[in-house]
Structure 1
Amino acid sequence: MKHVKKAGSRTRVVTGGAIVAALALGGFGAYSASATGEETAAAPAAAKVDAKNKNTTRSTHLTIEAATKAAQATLDAAEKENQRVSVAVVDRNGDTVVTLRGDGAGPQSYESAVKKAYTAVSWNAPTSELAKRLTNAPTLKDIPGTLFLAGGAPVTAKGAPIAGIGVAGAPSGDLDEKFAQAGVATLGK
């Protein structure tokens, strides 16, 4: 018959502590995984602390409805002048919210529209103005995802950029930008 050595008190404390920690972490994971989005008692206190400390900021974004309205108004303006273009609306972070490719728009127009919108929101300026800056800073064109050609217009709220509208496919960047501005104007109505 074998003798089983009893665990010492130190071993029991360490083992017990490890089990308690594992249960606590497992419980935490279960609570985190089953969060329903409803506020808990701790959430309002955390929000008050952040607001009081001014450690957070809020940003304004276009709704999908507003982005779609602007994109459609842009495409409509181009179609009134018999232009075949693509339109892109990006959010403040440069992420694409909506794109519309008009009937007969060239295959390159889609990507160009996205890049123009991204460029406009990144610098909070029409891309026609930004293209002029290349004379003094030619390496700007090397920034990934940008396109310094006329056709992009920023959308602002309270002076801050919240979106960009890019258009590509018309015979000139001036026309592209004219159509993008039509989309921006729609948002002000």
Structure 2
Amino acid sequence: MKKTSVRAKVLTGTVAAAALAAATLGAVSASAEATDTPAVAAAAVRTDAQNKNLAQSTGLTIEAATKAAQATLDAAAKAGQRVSVAVVDRDGVTRVLLKGDGAGPQSPESAVRKAFTAVSWNAPTSELAKRLAQAPNLKDIPNTLFLAGGAPVQSKGAPVAGIGVAGAPSGDLDEQFAQAGVEALTK
């Protein structure tokens, strides 16, 4: 009969101990989630009853973002242009991205980046592009695109979303279509 080496015994013991620890931790975590969550949530509400530690954010619903995107595509189609449109939330996360029929392959990404840029600075990207003369390093900020075609969506003067358009022959047209999406939200 072959003897088991000390190394094999240690390795086997370590694996067994790790498996037991993982099983125990999983069981404890599962029972903690099941029983402690309501108590923790209630304590958090009591602790912050005056909302001193909570931040609230205003944003577009998915229905509103879709309405704005569709109004943007409709304005472009009416002008005979094939574009892509992106609507991002306050944090620059894409909520809606529509690539219009016949829009170029580069247009979806450009639309997202224009929307991100507009909401980040709460200004139309055509205005931001003019700022590059004074601060050329702005263009080095990741995920931005300082070309006309992005418009911020505001609530009480604060940015809540951005609409970006790409694919028309000029940024001025892209921005005109983005503005149509913003205006659709006021109707």
- Do Structure 1 and Structure 2 share a fold, with TM-score over 0.5? yes
Q: Which runs of 5+ in 1 are unaligned?
A: 1-21
The aligned residue for residue 138 of structure 2 is: 140
Which residues in structure 2 correspond to 1:49-64 (within 5 Å)?
A: 49-52=47-50, 54-64=52-62
The letter of the residue matching 2:73 is L
The aligned residue for residue 68 of structure 1 is: 66
Q: How far off its partner does 1:157 sit? A: 1.4
CA distance 1:179–1:53, shift in 2 (3 Å): closer
Number of paired residues?
165
Which residues in structure 2 correspond to 1:19-38 (within 5 Å)?
A: 28-31=28-31, 33-34=33-34
Which residues in structure 2 correspond to 1:40-189 (within 5 Å)?
A: 40-52=38-50, 54-189=52-187
State the TM-score, normalizing by the size of structure 2: 0.81
Give the whole-Å Cα distance in 2 for the aligned partners of 1:177 and 1:53: 38
Give the whole-Å Cα distance in 2 for the aligned partners of 1:33 and 1:41: 10
Q: How far off its partner does 1:133 sit? A: 0.4
Larger Rg: 1
Give the whole-Å Cα distance in 2 for the aligned partners of 1:119 and 1:69: 21
The letter of the residue matching 1:89 is V
Give the whole-Å Cα distance in 2 for the aligned partners of 1:151 and 1:95: 18
State the TM-score, normalizing by the size of structure 1: 0.80
The letter of the residue matching 1:172 is S
Q: Which runs of 5+ in 2 are unaligned?
A: 1-21
Cα RMSD (Å) of the superposition?
2.2
CA distance 1:51–1:158, shift in 2 (3 Å): farther
Q: How far off its partner does 1:177 sit? A: 0.4
